[in-house]
Amino acid sequence: MSDATRSSVRGPSQLMLLVTVLIVAANLRPAITAVGPLIERIGDDTGLGPAALGLLGAIPAVGFGVVALFVAAAARRWGLERSIFFALLFLAAGTLLRSLPLGDFSLFAGTILLSAAIGVGNVLVPAVVKRDFPGRVPAVTGLYTAVLVGCAAVASGTAVPVAAAHGWELTLGASAILALISAGVWSTRLRRARRDASLATGPQLVTPEPPGGSMWRSAVAWQVTGYFALQSGIFYLMLTWFPAIQTSHGFSEASAGLWLGAYQAIGIAASLVVGAVMQRAADQRLTLLALAGIMLVGVLGMLLVPSAMPAWALIAGFASGGNLLVGLTLISMRARTSAEASRLSGMAQGVGYLLAAVGPLLAGTLFEVTDSWSPVLWITVAAILAMALVGSFAGRRVDVL
């Protein structure tokens, strides 16, 4: 069934498509955002040092990146619906494995497995949005990004009190329940996919790459990839180490976890506001530059006036949520079809997350050497400026191919 045919669906069916997209989005961060507030507690219990904990924080980005390079090809063979369904099952399995009392093995192996599963959803959800909502890409992306960051914020904000009552292992394993419920809801799409495949007379859900259409030779694809890498690197650095940055300035562990949750929760507002703006904008350059400026204010505030850390958490968190939305929206908007969106998503997230993985690892190592978070934050400032520069090119209204 073609994109045009799908976009003609209305009423309850279209609403159900949106609901299933949002429930997948709800699973794409909680399993990893619960780690940051507990990172020092995990280190105390396991004996892992800052560099090893930085590696633990980097694994999700590495997993996202490696998987993203191959997901588009797998989806062409198995279809978007089946690929996402099995990813949700693997997410539940990885989350449960990580929570088992098997020492460092279960902690790292479970993190690797769940990160790979989330990586599948990261890549394929933009392709689903492009296919099912071709005329409303920024608005729908804003909705699913709001759900994504909202659930991430809940996981961060509740991690410390839940761990205090039940232990960090059980806290990290709790999101497996959500993954299993979501797999059940998403399974309704499997029947729809089989019906659509039997009725289709044109290309299938994800078509093969046409000759001469390689994303790897597109300057626009590299601009989108560069922007995605920089915003992801900043996000995962803050996700892993922002609580530790706060505790180094005298904030309690519980307070630091709460403000990490707020850092992400404010992204809900950013997603809805920025999504609406992008839906009407001629191109995305002004939006990208404005978000970079807001992020710059937040990080410089952490450096220069750390006593006002809660304010900087909200300011930088708003920009971070907006940057994620922009990165995901650019993938769909620069592509002309869902097939192109799947391939661009694989490239941008594959290369982007692999480069972003350097952030938490570098930050942990640099802190271990200098015993200060200031060098880490100054590097973040440089990354924000680079993101603004790349975004001024990626934000133009041009097709990737």
Return d(Cα 189, Cα 387) in angstroms, integer. 37
358 and 57 Cβ atoms separated by less than 8 Å: no
Amino acid 304: pLDDT = 96
The number of helix segments (H) and strand segments (E) in the chain equals: 17, 0
Structure confidence by residue, pLDDT tens digits, 163-201: 999 999 999 999 999 999 999 999 999 876 666 555 444
Amino acid 95: pLDDT = 97
Q: Which residue has the tokens 């992204």?
A: 267
Amino acid 264: pLDDT = 84
Look at residues 268, 315, 317, 64 and name the one whose alpha carbon lies nearest to residue 151.
Answer: 268
Structure confidence by residue, pLDDT tens digits, 1-57: 444 444 444 444 888 999 999 999 999 999 998 998 898 899 999 888 888 888 888
Amino acid 40: pLDDT = 85
**What mean pLDDT is reported for the chain?**
88
318 and 290 Cβ atoms separated by less than 8 Å: no
Structure confidence by residue, pLDDT tens digits, 252-288: 988 888 888 889 889 889 988 998 898 888 788 999 9
Amino acid 360: pLDDT = 82
173 and 99 Cβ atoms separated by less than 8 Å: yes
401 against 224, higher pLDDT: 224
Structure confidence by residue, pLDDT tens digits, 98-141: 999 888 899 999 999 999 999 999 999 999 999 999 888 988 99
Amino acid 342: pLDDT = 87
Return d(Cα 109, Cα 251) in angstroms, integer. 32
Return d(Cα 383, Cα 162) in angstroms, integer. 34
Distances (CA, A) of 339 to 273, 293, 313, 345: 28, 34, 37, 10
Phi and psi at residue 202, to the nearest 5°: -110, -150
278 and 329 Cβ atoms separated by less than 8 Å: yes
